[in-house]
Structure 1
Amino acid sequence: MESESAMMLQLASEAFQAQNFDLAAEIYECQAAGARDARSRQELMVRRADALSFAGKFTEAFSVYQQAAEVERLRPAHLDRLIDCLAEGIRRQVRHSDHTSRSRGETVVEESSARMADVSCPLCLSFLFEPVTLLCGHSFCKRCLEREHPLQCVKCQDSAGVMEGGYRMNVVLSGVLSKLYPGRELVVKLRREGNTLYVERRVEEALEKYNQAICIAPDHLLFSNRSLILSALKHLDQALSDATTAVSLKPQWAKVLQLCKALHFVIKVFLCLSSSTEGVSPIAVGTLDPTDVECSLCMRLFFEPVTTPCGHTFCLQCLERCLDHNPKCPLCKEELSEFLERRQFCRTVLLEKLISKHLPSELTERQRVHQEEMDELSNLNKSVPIFVCTMAFPTVPCPLHIFEPCYRLMIRRCMETGTNRFGMCIGDQFKGFADFGCLLEIRDVNFFSDGRSVVDTIGRRRFRVLQHQERDGYNTADIEYLEDVKVEGAAELELQRLHDSVYELGLLWVNSLRPEQKQRIEGHFGSMPPKDPNGPSWCWWLLAVLPLEGRAQLPFLALTSLKDRLSGLRKVLLFMSQSRNAHR
């Protein structure tokens, strides 16, 4: 008989774990009816009440709890599951309420706490303490992340992207919050100290910590937790008063308050009301000095601050430039290869807001200086970045493999300014690079985890170098653009005939190539363009694919006479045709 009872209790436990609470409640009811002693019957009645609670049948559950209390006085441990159930219900209700309010554009926090919304953790909605900034740029309490382990950011739904080593505190942001809101930080510390003391059963000392915290900045979280402490000290009237105050500060907990009034012995349920927004009285806010928010790399006010997984913050451009040389944190040398591979460096939202709010004039000046730098970098006539590599031609694709740090910086700057353009010249042993080149436009960039990239570019305009220069390790130049001289009348008709004849010669040469040669050329540069007298693009395409050295190609790029360029190309094609015939 005892074996059968044990099997039934095991079945009830499995049903509870599987969330089949009705079945569990039914089994416990049958077992309680046949219990031999009062202690066993009470235990089974409590388990049945627990199952009914999780099934949402609170009225029936409370009746069973009352019956169990009549058998023998209930101990606090008997109510653990009820408290868990109520707490989970509250959390679901709050999250649903907040989500609904946000979707309707309503204000989620009370007016008194609206000023603190920007410095609140999105998970606990309390003051941001020991902040951790995720890769998406949003910040949370370190303890909240460690407790919740969210799979995505609750602010932007981006993957939380926890790097190896766990959550690291944002050092700069923590210092800024500590300086701006010292009272708020002290309250959190007192609350945590009180919680530790309570766990250690030093209840009177825990109460003193909460009394101190409430004197500084009373809020419903402090009142709800203090109600638990007062309950443990048997001060039930004061406990209920604190519970009432806590719920009055957050009206959506009115139903919980009714339950607390009906059930004095579950007063500690308010300990679970920590997923709430603080409703606080105003406390003094400290001042922020520009040196508190200064990048350790450029020694200037943060501009577009980015926080690494190791918790250090830098200007976006400063960090990227360091990572060009070494994929490690500039401060602690922790490996940042995974962070680098993501490539979407999100700015630390809260730090930007705090700088904007407390240092508006300094930020305006920093933005002005940055804009001047961008204007200088985006000038496509003066100090144009020059990639010294190979020949490039207008309208012709030119894929590039970027691995040198100076060129990583150059490509990134071209993209940041929005020009997406830079010059391409071949090298010169005396000047560094040739006096003629082609402006390339970036169409796409594919980054690798080690910082290398493959850049898809296409030629746009020819230019002549007026002055050779250098910036931050790469070459620059003042340039002027080249255009073909226009012809009219008889000269135009003559040019048209030359254009057609050279095009046919070029087509014959392309068709004479071996299939594998032709396939390789077309895979890299595309097919030969059709006739186009206004350019023509097919001419540049032929110059790019013909087996000529850069020095032989360069004069064609410098010519401003289409006639001269076609005549020179005709000579090359005739020579190659003769050479091919001679080898047959």
Structure 2
Amino acid sequence: MLQVCSDMLEVAEEANRAGDFDLAVEIYSSQLADLQQPDRRLSLRKADSLTRAGRISEALDSYCTAASLGKLLPEELLILVETIARTLREKELGTSNGDGKSSSSISSGGEDGVEGDGECGEDDALDLFSCRLCKRLLHEPTTVECGHTFCKSCLDDNSDSNSSVNDCAQCKQMLNQKDGGLPHGRRLDVVLSGLLDKLFATESRARKLWIEGEVLWKNQHLSDALEKYNTAVELAPSSGRLLCQRAELHMEMRNFSQAVQDGNILCRMKPLWTKAHCLKATALSEAGRNDEALQEYLWCVALKPNWTKVKLEAQKVLSEVFSLVFENQDLPTPLHPLQGGVATRLIKPPALLRTLRPLTQKPSSSSQDSEFSMTKGPPVDESSCRLSSGSLSAVESSTKSVAGILAALPAPPGGLKRKHSGDGPSAIFNTPSKLPRPDESSVQSPFVGRSFPAELLDSGDMECSLCMRLFYEPVATPCGHTFCLKCLERCLDHNSNCPLCKENLSEYLATRGYSKTLLMEEVLQRYLRDELAERKKIHEEEMKELSNLNQEVPIFVCTMAFPTITCPLHVFEPRYRLMIRRSMETGTKQFGMCIADELKGFADYGCMLEVRDVKFFPDGRSVVDTIGVSRFKVLSHGQRDGYNTAKIEYLEDKKVEGEELGELLKLYNAVYEQANNWFTSLKDNMKSQILSHFGHLPSKDPNPQASPSGPAWCWWLLAVLPLENRAQLTILAMTSLKDRLIAIRRVLIFVTRKRQR
């Protein structure tokens, strides 16, 4: 008895590595011919080499030979599955990248079967009204603090139940408590919810039934859930994800034939969606239709070569197919590896082929029955044939049965080292249905280009209930109501409750998280462009008017303020909250400060203050850090939205020259010396109070006329001296530095004498 030559096997393996698969086949065939009994391991190696060479017909002979000697394990069929899948990919889809790896244009999802739930190309399919979590039409839309909108149920499912905070799935901003800080949890966005129900009435009803079905399914009320899904499918028959879930529900209810029907529809709708083929394959497999399941699994691997889980399923099913054809057959004598090839040229395909022919093969393709001829092998040594005629016929039928199952699939690509005429791409296979290339698909996702009649949407659907105008910078409150940002802020200045439902918004007010609702903004820009432009124009005109610090200056009626001197303010009145906010929004960051006047409301002179910093408190109050900038004279008094305004003109000191300047400098130096002596002579406790509030006495400026308002130390001194407001106001209004110095000197003389007494 001859033995297998290990050296020749090494040569065959080297030939395989070098891509010379036909040489490897010849070596394995030669080694098998020298054996009195066929060797299963060698038959498998030969089968793999034949597969790599594109000689599928002969490869099936060898696989059947190996199967007759022992059941084929799934892992032993990896090369056959990968080769057929690669052929499908290259011949039908035309999207090979040279290494057999998946292209993102065909399939989505990660490796090892981490398959996305969305349609093929779902990232591109998302439209304006889709939830970024579930990829479907927004249902009970809920807007979170950052301004993004999701389905309420998706937010609840996406939240970490063990944590009081979670991140926005879109921008990753950390959100507050998942219930939005409200006693009854997050609320749906009222305006957006009504808008979706109006624009997409049928789809919205379908989504509602869909969600209800999911809840019933989760609670194991399967029959009730199926009723919801059936009604939803009637309303939205083109929703692939809905059909997919109904098929999965049928699977759980063991309604495999119905699951297969849904799978068929999905594959026709979305021929490049791997999940559709996988779902159909699983249903077929559960229904015991392994031949058809194998086709779908192979399409899955063709569409997504790195999907390891599905590739293994294809190998398992193919293993079962090989096993089934040997069940209830008695093979007393092992099959010679070459005998099947000869027999299949002599015997026509049996009736079993017609039974196993894929469902997708057209009736007219019955002529293929005569095309399952195998490549002619080398001459057979008749003395080596030991099989009975009955055993031979059984194995021949086995080979043809497997070939029949694969008859719908095209052969591997050409360009191999040795071309065998009997195994060309069209020698034994016919595609089940010509799949469109990725850029030729005529079936669009229901999410792509979701549209509605233009007349359904008008500006009245997007009106702020406070200003009765089109939303500008729309903001959704935690309780679900939407207002213009400025309108909401003005309302919260007066009351911390929602203007519509009266829900307490103190926490929302405390965080001041007034982020614009991005979906609402996009709807306005996309569908109400002209109306939004007009609304923006009105807003800009208002801001321009507010930023004019001559015509209508906001006036804070409170205390005396002086140029260069800090003036901290505690703001709690709603009118002044609005005034401060507007000064920040316009960018001027300035407003006027005047003392009260019983007759006119506020004095005729004041000082402009510039905001350096604002600190807000949870109840809406704020501490505003300001500093004096310049003096002004009131020309006319007015009011706007509850606070005082004025038309003003700015005051500047009159400059002097010559002898007047010399006299001014002498007076300037003398008064400064007098002021310094007075401050130095103060008691320590009084001095500390002045220092803590106003700081040190400013240094003497060598040029007293450098600033339009005069030297800073004069204003510092005027602020700390014990003078009544009216006296301070008189000095503030002076435009002569000399007169101001004389007035300060008189005050210093008075307070010094008073202290000496």
TM-score, normalised by the number of residues in structure 2:
0.58
| Matched AA of 2:714 | C
What does residue range 10-159 of structure 1 map to in structure 2 within 5 Å? 114=124, 116-149=126-159, 151-159=166-174
| Match among 237, 254, 261 for residue 238 of structure 1 | 261
| Match among 186, 198, 218 for residue 239 of structure 2 | 218
Q: CA RMSD in A?
A: 3.0
Counterpart of 2:720?
545
Give distance in 1, aligned partners of 2:243 and 2:230.
Answer: 13
| Matched AA of 1:164 | L
Note closer, same or farther for the CA distance 1:257–1:225 as it changes in structure 2 (3 Å cut): farther
Are the counterparts in 2 of residues 439 and 459 from structure 1 also a CA contact under 8 Å? yes
Are the counterparts in 1 of residues 136 and 447 from structure 2 also a CA contact under 8 Å? no
Are the counterparts in 2 of residues 295 and 313 from structure 1 also a CA contact under 8 Å? yes
Higher radius of gyration, 1 or 2: 2
Residue 372 (1) aligns with residue 391 (2) = no
| Matched AA of 2:203 | R
Q: Deviations over 1:15-68 (max 9, x none)?
A: xxxxxxxxxxxxxxxxxxxxxxxxxxxxxxxxxxxxxxxxxxxx99xxxxxxxx
Does the residue aligned with 1:437 lie in a helix, a strand or coil?
Answer: strand
Residue 554 (1) aligns with residue 729 (2) = yes
Does the residue aligned with 1:475 lie in a helix, a strand or coil?
Answer: strand
Does the residue aligned with 1:123 lie in a helix, a strand or coil?
Answer: coil
Note closer, same or farther for the CA distance 1:226–1:424 as it changes in structure 2 (3 Å cut): same
Give distance in 2, aligned partners of 1:310 and 1:452.
Answer: 22
Does the residue aligned with 2:174 lie in a helix, a strand or coil?
Answer: coil
| Matched AA of 1:454 | V
Q: CA deviation at 1:437?
A: 0.2
Q: Deviations over 1:173-212 (max 9, x none)?
A: 1112222333432331242344356542217635523532
Are the counterparts in 2 of residues 227 and 243 from structure 1 also a CA contact under 8 Å? no
| Match among 404, 423, 440 for residue 609 of structure 2 | 440
Are the counterparts in 2 of residues 207 and 229 from structure 1 also a CA contact under 8 Å? no
Q: CA deviation at 1:213?
A: 4.7
Give distance in 2, aligned partners of 1:361 and 1:118.
Answer: 19
Are the counterparts in 1 of residues 493 and 620 from structure 2 also a CA contact under 8 Å? yes
Are the counterparts in 2 of residues 112 and 279 from structure 1 also a CA contact under 8 Å? no
What does residue range 554-573 of structure 1 map to in structure 2 within 5 Å? 554-573=729-748
Give distance in 1, aligned partners of 2:236 and 2:315.
Answer: 26
Residue 205 (1) aligns with residue 227 (2) = yes
Residue 163 (1) aligns with residue 330 (2) = no
| Match among 529, 532, 537 for residue 363 of structure 1 | 532
Give distance in 1, aligned partners of 2:691 and 2:481.
Answer: 48
What does residue range 350-499 of structure 1 map to in structure 2 within 5 Å? 350-499=519-668
Counterpart of 1:27?
none
| Matched AA of 1:537 | A
Are the counterparts in 2 of residues 116 and 127 from structure 1 also a CA contact under 8 Å? no
Q: Deviations over 1:108-141 (max 9, x none)?
A: 9967874643222222222221111111111111
Structure with greater helix percent: 1
Counterpart of 2:457?
288
Are the counterparts in 2 of residues 495 and 563 from structure 1 also a CA contact under 8 Å? yes
| Matched AA of 2:526 | K
Q: Deviations over 1:127-168 (max 9, x none)?
A: 221111111111111001111116111222222122132111
Residue 227 (1) aligns with residue 247 (2) = yes
Counterpart of 2:695?
526
Residue 248 (1) aligns with residue 272 (2) = yes
Give distance in 1, aligned partners of 2:198 and 2:113.
Answer: 31
Give distance in 2, aligned partners of 1:391 and 1:495.
Answer: 26
Q: CA deviation at 1:493?
A: 2.1
| Matched AA of 1:248 | L
| Match among 157, 178, 181 for residue 197 of structure 2 | 178
Are the counterparts in 1 of residues 679 and 687 from structure 2 also a CA contact under 8 Å? yes
Give distance in 2, aligned partners of 1:400 and 1:484.
Answer: 27
Are the counterparts in 2 of residues 194 and 209 from structure 1 also a CA contact under 8 Å? no
Give distance in 1, aligned partners of 2:677 and 2:274.
Answer: 83
Q: Deviations over 1:469-517 (max 9, x none)?
A: 1111111110000000111222222212211111111111221222222
| Matched AA of 2:190 | V
Does the residue aligned with 1:442 lie in a helix, a strand or coil?
Answer: strand
Note closer, same or farther for the CA distance 1:143–1:259 as it changes in structure 2 (3 Å cut): farther
Q: Deviations over 1:515-562 (max 9, x none)?
A: 222222222222221112222011111101111110110011111111
Note closer, same or farther for the CA distance 1:518–1:570 as it changes in structure 2 (3 Å cut): same
Q: CA deviation at 1:433?
A: 0.7
Unaligned runs of 5+ in 1: 1-58, 61-89, 99-107, 265-276
Counterpart of 1:189?
208
Unaligned runs of 5+ in 2: 1-73, 76-107, 161-165, 276-299, 318-443
Q: Deviations over 1:217-263 (max 9, x none)?
A: 323x2232122133231225436546767793368994265466578
Give distance in 2, aligned partners of 1:93 and 1:164.
Answer: 41
Give distance in 2, aligned partners of 1:146 and 1:262.
Answer: 40
Give distance in 2, aligned partners of 1:95 and 1:366.
Answer: 50
Give distance in 1, aligned partners of 2:113 and 2:673.
Answer: 73
Note closer, same or farther for the CA distance 1:304–1:333 as it changes in structure 2 (3 Å cut): same
Does the residue aligned with 1:455 lie in a helix, a strand or coil?
Answer: strand
Note closer, same or farther for the CA distance 1:257–1:291 as it changes in structure 2 (3 Å cut): farther
Are the counterparts in 1 of residues 226 and 246 from structure 2 also a CA contact under 8 Å? no
Residue 298 (1) aligns with residue 467 (2) = yes
Counterpart of 2:20?
none
Give distance in 1, aligned partners of 2:141 and 2:748.
Answer: 68
Note closer, same or farther for the CA distance 1:237–1:95 as it changes in structure 2 (3 Å cut): closer
| Matched AA of 1:387 | F
What does residue range 317-336 of structure 1 map to in structure 2 within 5 Å? 317-336=486-505
| Matched AA of 1:285 | F
Does the residue aligned with 1:311 lie in a helix, a strand or coil?
Answer: coil
Does the residue aligned with 1:456 lie in a helix, a strand or coil?
Answer: strand
Counterpart of 1:308?
477
Note closer, same or farther for the CA distance 1:567–1:358 as it changes in structure 2 (3 Å cut): same
Note closer, same or farther for the CA distance 1:178–1:260 as it changes in structure 2 (3 Å cut): farther
Counterpart of 1:33?
none
Counterpart of 2:41?
none
Note closer, same or farther for the CA distance 1:204–1:563 as it changes in structure 2 (3 Å cut): closer
What does residue range 491-510 of structure 1 map to in structure 2 within 5 Å? 491-510=660-679
Note closer, same or farther for the CA distance 1:95–1:304 as it changes in structure 2 (3 Å cut): farther
| Matched AA of 2:143 | T
Give distance in 2, aligned partners of 1:413 and 1:246.
Answer: 54
| Matched AA of 2:488 | L
Query: What is the aligned-residue identity percentage?
Result: 50
